[in-house]
Chain A
Amino acid sequence: MADSHTSTRQEATAAPGPGTAPGTGAALAPGVTWHRRPGTGHRRRTRTVRVWVSAGLVAAVVLAVLVVPLLVPLDNQSVDLARKLQAPSLSHPFGTDEVGRDLLLRCVYGLRVSLLVGVVAALVAVGLGTAVGALAGALGGWADRAVMRLVDLFSSVPHLLLGIFIVAMFRPGVWPVILSVALTHWLSTARIVRAEVLSLRSRPHIDAAISGGASRWRVAVRHLLPGVLPQAGLAAVLMVPHAIWHESALSFLGLGLPAHEASLGIMVNAARGSLLAGAWWPTLFPGLFLIVPTLALAGLAGAWRERINPRRRSELML
């Protein structure tokens, strides 16, 4: 399914000229008919809609987490047991939680923490992976083998388990979570970047640079690194939603952020008891706040991936 997207894109872009009925094909020359594959235009429109909806959602989320904290401060201690577990209403659009705090506000603050963790962890992970992968690819030989065995070693441990080990070594807080996610997620980027560097390195333009007197450093920085930057940037964007899920998973397990922080994972965890009491909103809204923005981000990243890398989609995992 994915492949048919790619192969038909160019045909879809080359729109029929004026005066031709859409969908019937334009006559290029007598006897030559330009066939349009069924479904092409529809798929293209679907993709465009998806990109715009994703972009709109991401913009709205970024705006919300930047603006709302300026207008409404979050008072973690504003416990009001008289208003606990109120269903969504006009004064509390998402309802209140089990100690009477406004869920909408906590969701926005939770998303802010999640985005911070996601973006920073993704940048650190991809930066680390790019450095390691580029080093392995550029040096080759013994260093390459050693580094890639290290990558294999890290990969052989389930990464959530490794992440739990790492957060368990520190006091709960934002930075241990970022460290934990970053240290467990540089592996795929390192592999991708190494493969890319290896294929770039054997190209004649690198030979030409060496023959032109370029140092190792200059070859790496001026000729190899710019070639892998689109891949690394894409890996970073794809990593953000993944890192957000990890933060939530760690917090849900009680290992991530301190319990009083507004974190989506903590909120979902705390809401489990209320769900049994019939209150669905403390679970639903934080869950939606977790899923919708991350899917929107992933949608944007997917569109970018199709642009820069139409034929190799399976290599990059979400």
Chain B
Amino acid sequence: MLELRDITAGYERRRPVVSGVSLTVAPGESVGLLGPSGCGKSTLARVAALLHRPDAGTVTVDGVAAPGWRHRAPRALRTSFGVVFQQPRLSADPRLRLADLIAEPLRATGRRAQASAAVAELAPAVGLTADLLTRRPHEVSDGQLQRACLARALVLEPRWLICDEMTAMLDASTTAALVAVVEAYRARTGAGLLAVGHDRTLLERWCDRTVRWSDLAGTERVTAPGEGPAAA
């Protein structure tokens, strides 16, 4: 269970972009968070992935309250989230070849030996051919780079996936391919998903339930009655 409770967050203390928001994702459940641009949904996604410290509120992962954010969160807790960001250009280190980009979390967590096997397995799964893996980010398209970023998010087998406008920059066929990759991974591992976006059609087709930002703000509980672990 991933629970965000009364989250108030922002970049200036006096002007929070998210105030008093609560959201729950059950294990194995997929939740779509629908909202217009600039409403604060990306900030909430960053809070959920323990990447942004909220001014108030708690994040509870499987019954354990997150003790800190960013580097202050224990590594095991941080890596239980796979995060895919909106802009692949900005979320890829420009110096890393795609193969290294995908394997970077394994190297960072001391599992260097598994790197090449993991890349060999994940790259075809996300639709990257071998010749792309030796290129650097500026030598591939946005779609190809986002495939690599998705592979990077999956390489540590996270229990939660946070997709922040993952497909906003992409064409329809790439969108379909990436969503299929996420769903295949979830079917295999039972991971929960928080998909943030503005495309209502996509989120309603993709997710078990879709929450609108306007319904979310300031509410105590969002989970509809009858929904929860059993529904997943």
A residues near B (Cβ < 8 Å) are 203-205, 207-216, 218-219, 222-223, 226
Roughly how many angstroms separate A205 CA and B89 CA in the complex, as a whole number?
9
Q: Which residues of B contact A215 (CB under 8 A)?
A: 71, 75, 108
B147 interface hit (Cβ, 8 Å): no
Roughly how many angstroms separate A218 CA and B107 CA in the complex, as a whole number?
10
Q: List 30 A-B contacts (CB under 8 A).
A: A203-B90, A203-B91, A204-B85, A204-B91, A205-B92, A205-B93, A207-B46, A207-B49, A207-B83, A208-B92, A208-B152, A208-B153, A209-B104, A210-B70, A210-B71, A210-B78, A211-B81, A211-B153, A213-B75, A213-B108, A213-B156, A214-B104, A214-B105, A214-B108, A215-B71, A215-B75, A218-B108, A219-B71, A222-B93, A226-B95
Q: Which residues of A contact B50 (CB under 8 A)?
A: 211
* B78 touching A213, Cβ below 8 Å: yes
Told that A209-B108, A211-B79 touch, could you supply 19 new A-B pairs with CB distance under 8 A? A203-B90, A205-B90, A207-B83, A208-B83, A208-B92, A208-B149, A208-B152, A210-B78, A211-B50, A211-B78, A211-B83, A212-B108, A212-B109, A212-B156, A213-B79, A214-B104, A215-B108, A222-B93, A223-B93
B27 interface hit (Cβ, 8 Å): no
Roughly how many angstroms separate A208 CA and B79 CA in the complex, as a whole number?
10
Cβ-closest chain A residue relative to B91: A204
- Taking each of A209, A212, A215, A222, which has the highest tally of chain B beta carbons within 10 Å of its own beta carbon? A212
Q: Which residues of B contact A223 (CB under 8 A)?
A: 93
- Taking each of A204, A215, A222, which has the highest tally of chain B beta carbons within 10 Å of its own beta carbon? A204
B51 interface hit (Cβ, 8 Å): yes
Map CB proximity to A onto B80-113 as digits: 1 under 8 Å, 0 otherwise: 0111010100111101000000001100110000
Please tell me the number of chain B residues within 8 Å of chain A, measured between CB atoms. 28
Q: Which residues of B contact A222 (CB under 8 A)?
A: 93
> Measured between C-beta atoms, what is the minimum distance from A258 to chain B in Å?
47
Q: Which residues of A contact B83 (CB under 8 A)?
A: 207-208, 211
* B93 touching A212, Cβ below 8 Å: no
Cβ-closest chain A residue relative to B162: A211
> Measured between C-beta atoms, what is the minimum distance from A146 to chain B in Å?
20
Roughly how many angstroms separate A260 CA and B78 CA in the complex, as a whole number?
64
* B51 touching A212, Cβ below 8 Å: no
> Measured between C-beta atoms, what is the minimum distance from A216 to chain B in Å?
5
Q: Which residues of B contact A203 (CB under 8 A)?
A: 90-91
Roughly how many angstroms separate A212 CA and B46 CA in the complex, as a whole number?
14
* B51 touching A207, Cβ below 8 Å: yes
Roughly how many angstroms separate A208 CA and B156 CA in the complex, as a whole number?
12
* B49 touching A211, Cβ below 8 Å: yes
Number of A-B contacts (CB under 8 A): 66
Q: Which residues of B contact A218 (CB under 8 A)?
A: 108
Roughly how many angstroms separate A91 CA and B92 CA in the complex, as a whole number?
64
Roughly how many angstroms separate A205 CA and B79 CA in the complex, as a whole number?
15
* A210 touching B93, Cβ below 8 Å: no
Roughly how many angstroms separate A213 CA and B95 CA in the complex, as a whole number?
19
Q: Which 5 A-B pairs have the closest CB atoms?
A: A212-B105, A204-B91, A214-B108, A213-B109, A213-B79
Map CB proximity to A onto B50-74 as digits: 1 under 8 Å, 0 otherwise: 1100000000000000000011000
Cβ-closest chain A residue relative to B86: A204
* A208 touching B108, Cβ below 8 Å: no
Roughly how many angstroms separate A214 CA and B155 CA in the complex, as a whole number?
14
Q: Which residues of A contact B152 (CB under 8 A)?
A: 208, 212
Q: Which residues of A contact B81 (CB under 8 A)?
A: 211
> Measured between C-beta atoms, what is the minimum distance from B108 to chain A in Å?
4
> Measured between C-beta atoms, what is the minimum distance from B52 to chain A in Å?
8
Q: Which residues of A contact B155 (CB under 8 A)?
A: 212
Roughly how many angstroms separate A202 CA and B78 CA in the complex, as a whole number?
18
Roughly how many angstroms separate A226 CA and B100 CA in the complex, as a whole number?
15
> Measured between C-beta atoms, what is the minimum distance from A66 to chain B in Å?
34
Roughly how many angstroms separate A207 CA and B105 CA in the complex, as a whole number?
12
> Measured between C-beta atoms, what is the minimum distance from B168 to chain A in Å?
13
Q: Which residues of B contact A209 (CB under 8 A)?
A: 93, 104, 108
* A207 touching B108, Cβ below 8 Å: no
Roughly how many angstroms separate A227 CA and B35 CA in the complex, as a whole number?
34
Roughly how many angstroms separate A158 CA and B105 CA in the complex, as a whole number?
47
Roughly how many angstroms separate A66 CA and B51 CA in the complex, as a whole number?
54
Contact of A205 among B71, B82, B91, B156 (CB under 8 A): B91
Roughly how many angstroms separate A204 CA and B70 CA in the complex, as a whole number?
12
> Measured between C-beta atoms, what is the minimum distance from A115 to chain B in Å?
32
Q: Which residues of A contact B90 (CB under 8 A)?
A: 203-205
Roughly how many angstroms separate A211 CA and B77 CA in the complex, as a whole number?
9
> Measured between C-beta atoms, what is the minimum distance from A143 to chain B in Å?
14
Cβ-closest chain B residue relative to A226: B95
Cβ-closest chain B residue relative to A210: B70
Roughly how many angstroms separate A211 CA and B155 CA in the complex, as a whole number?
12
* B91 touching A212, Cβ below 8 Å: no
- Taking each of A203, A209, A211, which has the highest tally of chain B beta carbons within 10 Å of its own beta carbon? A211
